Amino acid sequence: MSENKPARGGGGATALGWVLTIGLNVVAPLLTYNNLVDHGHSEVTALLLSGLWPVVDVIVYLAWHRRVDEFAAITLVFLAITVLVTVAGPNSARLLLVKDSLVTGLFGVVCLASLAAPRPLMFYFGRKFGTDGSAEGLARWNGLWQFEGFRRVQRNLTLGWGLGYVAEALLRVGLTYVLSTGAMVAVNSVLSYGVTGLLVLWTVLYAKRARARGAAAAAASAVTAG
């Protein structure tokens, strides 16, 4: 999910980046998929064609920034996994319900695995959505890694998202084999958006508290030095 905006554009460019990111990675694929299915195309065909929109996102981002965004690459990988599960598996409604859980579960596993890397996955998500994409903004964010408190926050956020999505995937898979297909379609939507919404809310509140603690510690240090 690349954030398409000029390198130097302020708030307007940031807003444009959000519009393009959401439009090309969420709205356009969903509209394309639903429209093709409604007109009689197979789910596999609709899924493949709707997956072309993130490719457009990558091309637009590359034209502006001259580099490939990490999140566009992640989006394409997840789309490829979804396509493989749909094509390779048996043609059953249950598998179609399970495949989304596998993708989100895999994202959770990637989050947890990234804790062993030099910088966890949420560091890169924060850099993407917490900066304006300019060289100065990226350099400022990268420079924050020198602070122990910042590193701890990024690791805790990554741990929370990883555990949250793994738990959500396991719950959805389990319910798929217990509830009817009709009931599970509704539950799938509630869990998908509900868990993501809770994780976003937790991230915002946790980051806000962490910034407040950091500001208080800096103020206390300044008073002591004075």
Identify the pLDDT of residue 6.
43
pTM score > 0.75 for this model? no
How far is Cα 59 from Cα 39, in angstroms, rounded to an integer? 28
How far is Cα 30 from Cα 46, in angstroms, rounded to an integer? 10
Helix H, strand E, coil C: the string for 157-169 is HHHHHHHHHHHHH
How far is Cα 187 from Cα 195, in angstroms, rounded to an integer? 12
The answer for 41, left when phi > 0, alpha when psi is -120 to 50, beta otherwise, is beta
Residue 215: band (very low, low, confident or very high) from pLDDT cuts 50, 70, 90: confident
Segment 136-158 mean pLDDT: 91
Helix H, strand E, coil C: the string for 179-221 is CCHHHHHHHHHHHHHHHHHHHHHHHHHHHHHHHHHHHHHHHHH
* pLDDT digits 0-9 by tens, 30-68: 788 778 878 888 766 776 677 677 777 767 766 776 655
* pLDDT digits 0-9 by tens, 154-191: 999 999 999 999 999 999 899 988 887 667 766 776 78
Identify the pLDDT of residue 8.
44
Between the alpha carbon of residue 161 and those of residues 23, 121, 131, 149, 190, the distances in Å are 24, 10, 20, 18, 17
Whether the Cβ atoms of residue 160 and residue 199 lie closer than 8 Å to each other: yes
Identify the pLDDT of residue 39.
85
Residue 122 token pair: 């949420």
Q: Among 40-49, 106-115, 118-127, which stretch is predicted with the lowest mean pLDDT?
A: 40-49
Rg (CA), the chain: 20
Identify the pLDDT of residue 1.
45
